[in-house]
Structure 1
């Protein structure tokens, strides 16, 4: 037996096998070494990006994270988001077995990389989200092995070449979000294996959907949203037996919806909203897999199909803003999966399905602006997740369902302009999460509605006194009761209104004195008490307010106006009050001293005696005080200084003693809800710092403590040119100071809106001129880069939660800095929503879903920044769209009504050479303020769009005259609340 191995080795067959195995190992080893050399050369040709530093000569390529190996051979490269800025070198195709190449989300310039034609085995190519320009080459079919091609998010132009139809192996073709301005070919219909086709967000020449697309039997996704489609939807699409997702939103399609679409067995998502489709909705429906039907914003007529009641998987039914008539089929109220039912602004009538919500978990219910009669369904909140009930402007009657009073998930109730009778359910006033209400009465029970943020009841017929209970709402930020018939005096105890920013009580019959307590509202920015019957003096406590807007006109006020309002920023604030005067009149008001001299003149001898006595007392007091207090002050200064702790984040040219000694009223430049801000000179001549002081009391407020900790945690660790620099923090047990770099040009809102309001980190002595467009655009880019860094480049993503123009500060060169992180939160995981205990931020900038759910992610900052972009483009304030809308709502109304963008732009700076760039910023502001968070771009996309618009951008950039984001404007939903 011991000789068996030797005899066995002598057999010719085994020897041959061993030789072959040995040779195979040698070939594999040589191949690995060859591929390593290729990859290291590739790394060098790509500019040695730091993101792939793991590629080195001491390890195997198959161990590198970005390399995919199959049986020891390089088969794929995952090079997405690696900050690659070089063109693709031909070296990549030296990898003879390369089948997979992903270079998405980089900064690769140039035209389509024809060097890839030599990658003969390539079946997956992803070049999306780069800077590629020019046309797709006519000979694209040389990549004959391709099964998946992703070219979306680039700047490809021209037409899609017909020879793309020769790539018969293609399964996915993603060409969306480019700059195609030619045509798309009918030859796409030859791609018999195609499963996903995306041509959305392109400005094709007006084109019909090719009949040949109906030949794509394996197609599951057809996405042509905002692709400049015209004509009718071809009947041939009814042959797409595998189709699951059809999205033709935001085009100019007309004619009838093909009956066959509702017969496709696999169709799940049908999005046809915002077109010009007419006729009736097909009545026969056999597509029982449908989960989403959105046919809103068309010109459809007729009735809602009875067969919709068969769709047991249906979650979204959106038919708003059409010409539908008739009744809602009762069977729709029985659908078990329905979560959103939106049919507002139609001609629907009859009784609403009485069992609506009973068998489903309904979240959204909007039937407003129709002709419904009868009662509101009793069981809308049976699933316990109902967020909004909007049934205003109908003919509904009877009592409001008692069940709504037990619906703790409610955020918004709008039932005005109906014929309801009886009392509103008592429980509705105690719903924990309520943030928006429009009804008819204002009951005393509103005091238990602790989470209310916005109370809007303008232009109704409310009468009587304003209930005192409304003053006890701690989170109320906007109270709008203008245009009613309220009378009597205002409640005098308003200490709970710490979050109030806007108060409008104009055009009522209110009387009596204005309460002194108004001066204690730390965040009040907008105050309108005009056209009432208020009398007496303006409370001197108004000097403590930092108002952007004040209107006390057409009352019966008398006496001296507070000194801070005696400037041209308030030239229309005191009209039609004949008994008001000013000490140093700048406005058109009488001189108070002239009146005083005319009414009271003291004899000269008496004045002389009073003067001598006063001077004597003053001198004696000074001498005694100097001797008694000197030693005490020295000891106290040392003791106080020892109680402070300085934590530095930068190299400082001052000490805590310098800062503490300068916290005087002479250096005070602003104040807000969490403290005061001082402008203090540093030890270096001509330099200043901004010091934010919070917690001025003995007992630390828990909310302010959290704000302080958040701001220090964030600003102490991040470094970015567009984020305000925190130099240090100085803290004691009872007071805490944040020391920032000083911004010479203060905040953006002061330059845009010309109000005499103290910035959080600037002075009040700047004389403002109109901010020209190049400067505004520079500010937009800088602020976007700061937010992009927070969202995408920090190790832990940061959500600001209070982005607004007053929190964008400007240095001496008008470079933007994001500031005021007291409300920011650091998320544990990027993209993961985080629930806040209460809505924070400033009205006019708050994303709609934030007010509904308090579920936050980066998209709430995108919404707020969109409002800032609209401010920059229009010059309007965030709450001044018109009398009843915010700026974002106003802008979307202009868009929805088809008004030219140029008419919305700031008339003071509108010049022909800037119009395209201004239009792009306006359109980008619209996209960012879309009501659907998923439709808003990321800050990375926003920053990139702005950068490409800049004529100073690097690389293959679009100029302002070439770049247009208007094609991205889709998904328009109802915005008025």
Structure 2
């Protein structure tokens, strides 16, 4: 072994000698070698905060910022430059600092390789380079026999796991976690580090079992091997580590039961073995760990009861065991003597009474106990729990009235009592809960009036009270909830009129007041709710006419059925909701030209009573129906005649230069737009606005109504399949975030699709387009609106269509923007209707666009909704980073998902990936929240990705705070302060 190492050490000696010679040979002989070495070290770094300004040739190194000298020799002993925003690389010149015993450069932006010349710093005791961007294989530093602290964690080091660290027998702290080492096992040689107290190997691509040698490290206090692929049973031998106070083994593949021997570790304070595959009951002895502060084992398969000893603990702060199979009654005294801060026992099978003392010490902030079998009344001990922020006890069997004080939680942000058997009313004290963001009480037996004090909850975004027994009038004070996005009051007994003040809720997205006893008319103020997406007022006693201005709203869902409404149904609303949205209103009628949109016999408005609506005379009604049949037959004859007239030769050159002669145009119309076939089919190349894999797209200003449409002329050959796909899907879709298909024309091999025109083009171009002054066209607030709107469109395709639709080519160029930058999903030429459709197996070879393709499509052609989710995640990354899906900087064969993942090592790295052209203190947190959603969407395993419905919810949760105030936004969603 010595022979093999000799050349290496000879090379190091030669390098050091040359460095000494170089610095001694410099013209300014008055400068010391160490000064020159540090100045060279500085020159290799970028210092945006000018922290190193004191590093000058005229100064002694002992006066340099971050430098400490040895009092005896005067040599440089310590370099401490942690968290100074330094970037660049570490210069090998540092090797001449022979007295150096501590080098700390943690939490910076330093990149490049670790210089092997560090081996010459033989007195080094502390080497901490954690939290940087360093890369490459680690050089063998085993000659640094004086090292006590080696922390290289949270970098991008690669290659094999450094087995040479087992030779550094003086190490007390070892951190190699969060790097990109090749997958491999934990080396047995780590057992040589008998002085080790801190071992940090999280997220290091380790697999296999934990070697027995690790359990011989008797001095070990912290063992962290989390987020790896460690397998096998939970090791009994861990009980040998008598000084252990922290165990972090979460997110591995551990199996088996927790051994009773774990309770022998009497110093244990923190235990986290969550997200493994462990099972069995908790040993009773675990309750004897009296120093426990954190105990987490969520997402496993544990069962049985919680040991009673947990009720006697005095230091427990965090307890999280959700998603297991625990059952039985919860320990009666749990929390009675502990300063609990967070408890999550959700998704288990606990029964009996709800635990009384979880907030006994008034420090509890998070109490999550949803989806269990707790019964009985909620203890009144929680009425004094003013520290609560999230309180979710939904999906249990709890009953009785809510203690009065529990409605008055000043710090609560989420209160969810839904899906229980609670009764009684909401106390007026609810007004004290001024921080409340979400109040969910649906599916209970609550009753009484809704207190007007609910109008004081100015932070409230979601109010869900459906399926209860609430009565009385809806308080007009709800109109003061300026941030409200969801209001669900259906299936109650509310009476009186709908408060016009609801129109002040400018950010309301979903409004459901169905199946109450509401009377009066539909308020005209509803037309002011520009963000409203769904409106359900069915099953009430509403009278009067439908406000015509409701047509201005871009609703995807409307239901006004089963009321007492009268008058004309606005044609756009009829198109949007179909006749089912208006049935059960005997006084409603439709225009003659609207009959093509309905399938049932809704009455036709007569001219005389157009605004009263209903034709009462049965004889007249019969005549109208008969006349309508004649009109339809006449229309068919007229259409045949029109098609006959269109048989004249079509002389415009097609894409291949050939001319279509003596063939008829066939027209299918899906939305009422007035145009001539001739103008659609005679397109001007000067109006070409795009060209892609399925055809060319032109802008066309219609002659008849002066409107503008987009016309896609499909390539021959592909045209038939694309035409069929887009017609089958878009002709049935009605959603404000999905592009409208007005009509299609075919003749021989030529095909044209007529779409609504999108003035701002596609998202990809808009994202990279600048306007006057060099500013970007899209600021963060507009990007967020686009992200949320596009997500809603895709969620509609996945979840709200009769058969789910998989788009299969979600990308920023297929998200179009109208004049208000409202996004619409486009290009359904390769979309797939879910199983059960005759088209379900078509285009199976298509996998999407490079840069957006989900990783599973490399080995399967089974495209699912989760493939769309991945592609949309890439779009979110584009919005957050301002980058393209594929760039040379990412490396060969790499994409934006890889690049972002490689940067996200710590909170400082997060800021590095955000688009600094739109980043500010105001939006930093908002951008990070959307980035988190993007990373969830682009998770490698499809089953770990959220559904698009969940994505919409997460994006709503990530809504910018300033965005919620309409006074700060212009009509295009831009913010002005």
Q: What is the SS of the residue equivalent to 2:262? A: helix
Q: What is the SS of the residue equivalent to 2:215? A: helix
1:444 and 2:449 are equivalent in the alignment: yes
Give the aligned partner of residue 275 of structure 2: 274
1:147 and 2:148 are equivalent in the alignment: yes
8 Å CA contact 2:90, 2:112 repeated in 1: no
Q: What is the SS of the residue equivalent to 1:433? A: coil
The Cα offsets for residues 716-741 of structure 1, whole Å up to 9 and x where unpaired, read as xxxxxxxxxxxxxxxxxxxxxxxxxx
The Cα offsets for residues 307-350 of structure 1, whole Å up to 9 and x where unpaired, read as 11221011122222211122112121422412333222212122
CA shift for structure 1 position 157: 2.8
The Cα offsets for residues 441-485 of structure 1, whole Å up to 9 and x where unpaired, read as 364243102116134436625576652356354345134326525
Q: What is the SS of the residue equivalent to 2:68? A: strand
1:102-501 equivalences under 5 Å are 102-137=104-139, 139-183=140-184, 184-204=186-206, 206-284=207-285, 285-405=287-407, 407-423=409-425, 425-428=427-430, 431-439=433-441, 440=444, 441=446, 443-449=448-454, 450-451=456-457, 453-457=460-464, 460-462=467-469, 467-469=474-476, 471-475=478-482, 477-481=484-488, 484=491, 490-494=497-501, 497-501=504-508
The Cα offsets for residues 807-828 of structure 1, whole Å up to 9 and x where unpaired, read as x99999996743459xxxxxxx
CA shift for structure 1 position 392: 2.7
CA distance in 1, matches of 2:524, 2:495: 17
The Cα offsets for residues 839-886 of structure 1, whole Å up to 9 and x where unpaired, read as xxxxxxxxxxxxxxxxxxxxxxxxx97x98798799646999889xxx
8 Å CA contact 2:509, 2:531 repeated in 1: yes
CA distance in 2, matches of 1:531, 1:93: 79
Give the aligned partner of residue 953 of structure 1: 889
CA shift for structure 1 position 280: 0.8
Q: What is the SS of the residue equivalent to 1:334? A: coil
Give the aligned partner of residue 538 of structure 1: 546
1:594-609 equivalences under 5 Å are none
CA distance in 2, matches of 1:486, 1:32: 89
Q: What is the SS of the residue equivalent to 1:163? A: helix
8 Å CA contact 1:338, 1:362 repeated in 2: yes
8 Å CA contact 2:535, 2:555 repeated in 1: no
Instruction: Evaluate the alpha carbon distance shift between residue 38 and residue 471 of structure 1 in structure 2; reply closer, same or farther with a 3 A threshold.
Output: closer
CA shift for structure 1 position 81: 5.5
1:55 and 2:62 are equivalent in the alignment: no
Q: What is the SS of the residue equivalent to 1:237? A: helix
Instruction: Evaluate the alpha carbon distance shift between residue 486 and residue 99 of structure 1 in structure 2; reply closer, same or farther with a 3 A threshold.
Output: same
8 Å CA contact 1:320, 1:343 repeated in 2: yes
CA distance in 2, matches of 1:598, 1:95: 100
1:70 and 2:70 are equivalent in the alignment: yes
1:545-584 equivalences under 5 Å are 547=554, 549=556, 551-552=558-559, 554=561
| Residue range with higher mean Cα deviation, 100-109 or 273-282 | 100-109
8 Å CA contact 2:852, 2:885 repeated in 1: no
| Residue range with higher mean Cα deviation, 406-415 or 330-339 | 406-415
8 Å CA contact 2:68, 2:79 repeated in 1: yes
The Cα offsets for residues 734-775 of structure 1, whole Å up to 9 and x where unpaired, read as xxxxxxxxxxxxxxxxx994479xxxxxxx97357775xxx4
Query: Could you say what the CA RMSD is over the residues aligned between the two structures, in angstroms?
Result: 5.1
CA distance in 1, matches of 2:885, 2:105: 24
8 Å CA contact 2:176, 2:201 repeated in 1: yes
Q: What is the SS of the residue equivalent to 1:276? A: coil
Q: What is the SS of the residue equivalent to 2:415? A: strand
CA shift for structure 1 position 949: 7.8
8 Å CA contact 2:353, 2:377 repeated in 1: yes
| Residue range with higher mean Cα deviation, 510-519 or 325-334 | 510-519
8 Å CA contact 1:406, 1:427 repeated in 2: yes
8 Å CA contact 1:153, 1:176 repeated in 2: yes
CA shift for structure 1 position 40: 2.0
Instruction: Evaluate the alpha carbon distance shift between residue 179 and residue 275 of structure 1 in structure 2; reply closer, same or farther with a 3 A threshold.
Output: same
Instruction: Evaluate the alpha carbon distance shift between residue 63 and residue 250 of structure 1 in structure 2; reply closer, same or farther with a 3 A threshold.
Output: same
Instruction: Evaluate the alpha carbon distance shift between residue 142 and residue 466 of structure 1 in structure 2; reply closer, same or farther with a 3 A threshold.
Output: farther
CA shift for structure 1 position 368: 2.7
CA distance in 1, matches of 2:485, 2:596: 29
CA distance in 1, matches of 2:423, 2:605: 56
CA shift for structure 1 position 303: 0.7
Give the aligned partner of residue 766 of structure 1: 758
If the length of structure 2 is used for normalisation, what is the TM-score?
A: 0.59
The Cα offsets for residues 650-698 of structure 1, whole Å up to 9 and x where unpaired, read as xxxxxxxxxxxxxxxxxxxxxxxxxxxxxxxxxxxxxxxxxxxxxxxxx
CA distance in 2, matches of 1:57, 1:361: 56
Q: What is the SS of the residue equivalent to 2:166? A: helix
Instruction: Evaluate the alpha carbon distance shift between residue 296 and residue 393 of structure 1 in structure 2; reply closer, same or farther with a 3 A threshold.
Output: same
CA distance in 1, matches of 2:897, 2:262: 41
CA distance in 1, matches of 2:777, 2:188: 48
Instruction: Evaluate the alpha carbon distance shift between residue 373 and residue 461 of structure 1 in structure 2; reply closer, same or farther with a 3 A threshold.
Output: closer
Instruction: Evaluate the alpha carbon distance shift between residue 540 and residue 516 of structure 1 in structure 2; reply closer, same or farther with a 3 A threshold.
Output: farther
Instruction: Evaluate the alpha carbon distance shift between residue 525 and residue 65 of structure 1 in structure 2; reply closer, same or farther with a 3 A threshold.
Output: farther
| Residue range with higher mean Cα deviation, 270-279 or 475-484 | 475-484
Q: Which runs of 5+ in 1 are unaligned?
A: 1-28, 601-750, 757-763, 783-807, 822-863, 884-902, 930-938
CA shift for structure 1 position 253: 1.3
The Cα offsets for residues 519-569 of structure 1, whole Å up to 9 and x where unpaired, read as 4645643341264465644324447x6646452465676666779x6899x
Q: What is the SS of the residue equivalent to 1:42? A: helix
CA shift for structure 1 position 287: 2.2
Higher relative contact order (CA 8 A, sep 6+): 1
CA shift for structure 1 position 180: 2.5
8 Å CA contact 1:368, 1:392 repeated in 2: yes
CA distance in 2, matches of 1:198, 1:752: 51
Give the aligned partner of residue 705 of structure 1: none
Instruction: Evaluate the alpha carbon distance shift between residue 316 and residue 928 of structure 1 in structure 2; reply closer, same or farther with a 3 A threshold.
Output: farther
CA distance in 1, matches of 2:867, 2:69: 45
Q: Which runs of 5+ in 2 are unaligned?
A: 1-27, 611-734, 741-755, 802-833, 835-843, 857-865, 902-934, 958-977
CA distance in 1, matches of 2:487, 2:550: 20
8 Å CA contact 1:458, 1:483 repeated in 2: yes
CA distance in 2, matches of 1:246, 1:948: 41
CA distance in 2, matches of 1:352, 1:513: 44
CA shift for structure 1 position 93: 1.0
Give the aligned partner of residue 93 of structure 1: 95
